[in-house]
Structure 1
């Protein structure tokens, strides 16, 4: 429960006896003193959703009146907004808001999107008798009558799940209090969609000898753990062969209120674990989990064209209020939505994509959800489910790493343990169908241990895949030819790679740090 209605404490900001009834001795007439000018109530932290209208944010509320404007609320529409206190005056209710973790001030309750449920218009499901679609996964957010985000499990749905066996269209209705919404969920007809042939190509020679640590063995200089850190003051640069990666942007550890507990609620907490990365059209988008065992989290966008200083994003809590108001216009935070392990991402002109996978799955024949998120407001625009099987359901290809390169193209990476090879699968969309084919394969594991793949991307111009391991990036041709490997001794986990405008980007953990190649890749 994140609404915070329990554990509330109410305090009247007036004389403590002002609400008592008194009797006049002279007239024996009952007199009731006036109601207090304002009443303050405290709550557990909750997440709010801004509406589309501008309301001023005030520094203080005193005596039932607001004083000193500190910001225009419309500037925070796409940021992460939290609250833990309200003040009810005779005319309005004001909420104390925190924006991306910073205390800002008091805003009228009408500022929030109240009694609202955000869902996409359509969901399209691949035909798969092994799959059930959880209809609550389509919810970007649901709010109560104060604009507070509620847990999706509190939303009533006309159907909890959809069986993906029989072709049919369902209208799913969502209700919470006065809030209502609906979406159409369609199970696609084709039973051959997603069926490919793993023997369609001959695998190229690879290697099992490259070095990559299983986990991190260091951190950035001023990062100790998620509760102990200070801003970094020195950028980094690592060179391997013809590639140099340098610091582009140190990201905030948290974009939510820093607390002394790990139980502040997953909806509330934005960070601290970066997982995936995609860069396009001057923006970098990273997926964030609050705990590694979750498949829901947040996606945060940073406008690299405007955020040119590599250090300032660490200083949201200490920069001046006026600078903060301007700065956070260039940061967008999605609601708490399905993102899987977060290492299967991509972005196009209008959308961010994430393939929702369960990182604990081995060889599942379940479908995977492909979430299309609008860049404009970071809400779910559409959902498809996809599958990739070698011949039939007994030989599935379940992708934990993938990259979306256009609104109609995706590539998935799969390691075949039986044949000891990496496979590169193409999924191409026609209408709502995602058709599958194998485009390349490489023999071996690349590394001499069980170090995991931490990032996967594709250079559409030169037709090369890039595979990211900890301290290691491998360049592979489209058909599977091992071309180059790059070693960078960062000591930290690599959490996503991306190609944009012919530059390679990589994100590090143990303080999220975006790196960019010094020169264009070829």
Structure 2
């Protein structure tokens, strides 16, 4: 055996040993460095001056030939860079700016792509890292688009985001799940971990006993604390539904149960192209015009059974609220979930109705600027997503369980910061007609401002829709019934798809599929509007004297003329 042959054998044995040690080091220690346990591959570049692996995405293996191996090179040289691939994960940006690079080659970065601070409030994902002698870089996808490599220091590492305070209505029929307060928790690399992996000092809070509890959340070296209070008064939420007499209603208005249409170029969540024509729908004195086509996904298209729902932003819109020139929509990845994402679009800047469909294909320079006008929340409780609202600083959701019928349970009001769409505070509310034996559980509501909410409830015992006003004083939300309408508006269990309040004209609007009804706050029917789309209405909102409606299949925001 020649010296050359001996060196080659030793080299390949070392490569095998290196990969084995790498795997055992990451997987055998319980995944302390990679808690998500999704390690797929490790490769060394320039080991012994020989490159065995070539990588895509701008990573080059060092090249040499067999003649360079001799006794003089039979010593271990530090790898220029190590590439590791993973299943897809979600990252959280920090507050400092770092450069996004096109390439990392031989341990060095090159060609600036963007300032990463532009993407702070977007949905950031990764599936590959490169470790050099100085830094670790991650390949990032932003709102589903591959962008480039960024220093790991860019991410919010070992961080847990929870609200400082949670205020719960006194209700022995409900226990609060403390993990509902988590916006995100990240590991040492800035990767979002599942909430079930977070250690919590108290898993649930019994809402039948007044008092205050400090709840501590921890993961790795990250920790956070939230003060959870069960309010003292037991009378909060108990009201009288018989204070009003129902106004004359109907069950003859046209609507339908299941959608039978879609936008022209939308065939399915996995088979679609960009829409190229806007719509103008007129019924009586209301005209709805296309304002914005939204992306079907704001994430890398994946199989959620493998990559989880934290990674998926889309494809099911549920609700909408518009304020201060921004439209916020709630999105689920599956209809049976009660957590999802909220996405904000700056309508003041996104004036072209088609452009959001082209995030993956527009120029990089345009993308860098464009996505500063889009915000994506962490994976948070949103309920069915059709009960939303907003104020100058916050976006609200009434995170209800759409499957509950006749429940005396509390419902969570989730207050999100408009800046980064993380949870700022949580309240729970209840509404009982006299006692828990006659509860009102709201599946549709609108939060008008920081101190006012209206809820819509159908009472099957009296065959009427009821309109409830909630006024907040301190942390207490006190309900009062303000009106009712007899019957069901529609005749065959067609679902309510949205509910909102017009403060300028003091009207409610209720949306069914292809049907919008305008009412006085006492329940008097003023007018109904019928459209023909075959698509589900997914939430309605009023802002600046205009009504906004979101259509599904694909998400399309419509804007009305001035309301009367």
TM-score > 0.5 by shorter chain: yes
Q: Does residue 521 of the first structure (1) align with residue 553 of the second (2)?
A: no
Structure number with larger C-alpha Rg: 2
* Residue in 2 that maps onto 1:100: 143
Aligned positions of 1:280-299 closer than 5 A:
280-299=323-342
Shift of 1:17: 7.3
Q: Does residue 451 of the first structure (1) align with residue 483 of the second (2)?
A: no
Counterpart of 2:383 in 1: which secondary structure? Answer: coil
Kept in 1: contact 2:387–2:397 (CA 8 A): yes
For structure 2, the 5+ residue unaligned runs are: 1-30, 53-70
Alpha-carbon displacement from aligned partner over 1:448-489 (angstroms, at most 9, x marks no partner):
111100000000111110000000000010000011000010
Which residue among 5, 9, 21 is the counterpart of 2:41?
9
* Residue in 1 that maps onto 2:206: 163
For structure 1, the 5+ residue unaligned runs are: 21-27
* Residue in 2 that maps onto 1:302: 345
How many residues are aligned here?
Answer: 515
Kept in 1: contact 2:304–2:312 (CA 8 A): no
Counterpart of 1:8 in 2: which secondary structure? Answer: strand
Q: Does residue 149 of the first structure (1) align with residue 192 of the second (2)?
A: yes
Write the distance in 1 (CA, Å) between the matches of 2:357 and 2:240. 48
Write the distance in 2 (CA, Å) between the matches of 1:361 and 1:167. 25
**TM-score, normalised with respect to structure 2:** 0.89
Kept in 2: contact 1:11–1:40 (CA 8 A): yes
Which residue among 470, 481, 487 is the counterpart of 1:427?
470
Q: Does residue 83 of the first structure (1) align with residue 126 of the second (2)?
A: yes
Kept in 2: contact 1:171–1:185 (CA 8 A): yes
Which residue among 55, 62, 68 is the counterpart of 2:105?
62
Write the distance in 2 (CA, Å) between the matches of 1:367 and 1:422. 20
Shift of 1:167: 1.1
Kept in 2: contact 1:123–1:186 (CA 8 A): yes
* Residue in 2 that maps onto 1:201: 244
* Residue in 2 that maps onto 1:24: none
* Residue in 1 that maps onto 2:62: none
Write the distance in 2 (CA, Å) between the matches of 1:356 and 1:377. 19
Kept in 2: contact 1:18–1:36 (CA 8 A): no
Q: Taking structure 1 as reference, are residues 325 and 169 closer, same or farther at Cα in structure 2, changes over 3 Å only?
A: same
Provide the aligned C-alpha RMSD in A: 1.7
Shift of 1:264: 2.5
Write the distance in 1 (CA, Å) between the matches of 2:446 and 2:221. 39
* Residue in 1 that maps onto 2:403: 360
* More contact order relative to length (CA 8 Å, sep ≥ 6): 1
Kept in 1: contact 2:321–2:388 (CA 8 A): yes
Q: Taking structure 1 as reference, are residues 62 and 414 closer, same or farther at Cα in structure 2, changes over 3 Å only?
A: same
* Residue in 1 that maps onto 2:24: none
Kept in 1: contact 2:39–2:84 (CA 8 A): no
Kept in 1: contact 2:48–2:76 (CA 8 A): no
Kept in 2: contact 1:4–1:45 (CA 8 A): no
* Residue in 1 that maps onto 2:522: 479
By percentage of residues, which structure has more helix? Answer: 2
Which residue among 434, 442, 459 is the counterpart of 1:416?
459
Counterpart of 1:317 in 2: which secondary structure? Answer: coil
Q: Taking structure 1 as reference, are residues 122 and 277 closer, same or farther at Cα in structure 2, changes over 3 Å only?
A: same
Shift of 1:377: 1.0
Q: Does residue 275 of the first structure (1) align with residue 307 of the second (2)?
A: no
Q: Does residue 440 of the first structure (1) align with residue 483 of the second (2)?
A: yes
The list of structure 1 runs, each at least 4 consecutive aligned residues, that deviate by more than 6 angstroms after superposition, is none
Shift of 1:6: 2.5
* Residue in 1 that maps onto 2:22: none
Q: Does residue 177 of the first structure (1) align with residue 220 of the second (2)?
A: yes
* Residue in 1 that maps onto 2:505: 462
Shift of 1:260: 5.6
Q: Taking structure 1 as reference, are residues 474 and 245 closer, same or farther at Cα in structure 2, changes over 3 Å only?
A: same
Counterpart of 1:402 in 2: which secondary structure? Answer: strand
Q: Taking structure 1 as reference, are residues 261 and 123 closer, same or farther at Cα in structure 2, changes over 3 Å only?
A: closer
Shift of 1:163: 0.3
Counterpart of 2:427 in 1: which secondary structure? Answer: strand
Which residue among 543, 547, 551 is the counterpart of 1:500?
543
Shift of 1:33: 2.5
Alpha-carbon displacement from aligned partner over 1:283-321 (angstroms, at most 9, x marks no partner):
000000000000000000000000000000000000000
* Residue in 1 that maps onto 2:171: 128
Which residue among 326, 333, 337 is the counterpart of 2:369?
326
Write the distance in 1 (CA, Å) between the matches of 2:35 and 2:543. 40
Higher alpha-carbon deviation: 431-440 or 256-265: 256-265
Shift of 1:124: 0.1
Q: Taking structure 1 as reference, are residues 510 and 354 closer, same or farther at Cα in structure 2, changes over 3 Å only?
A: same
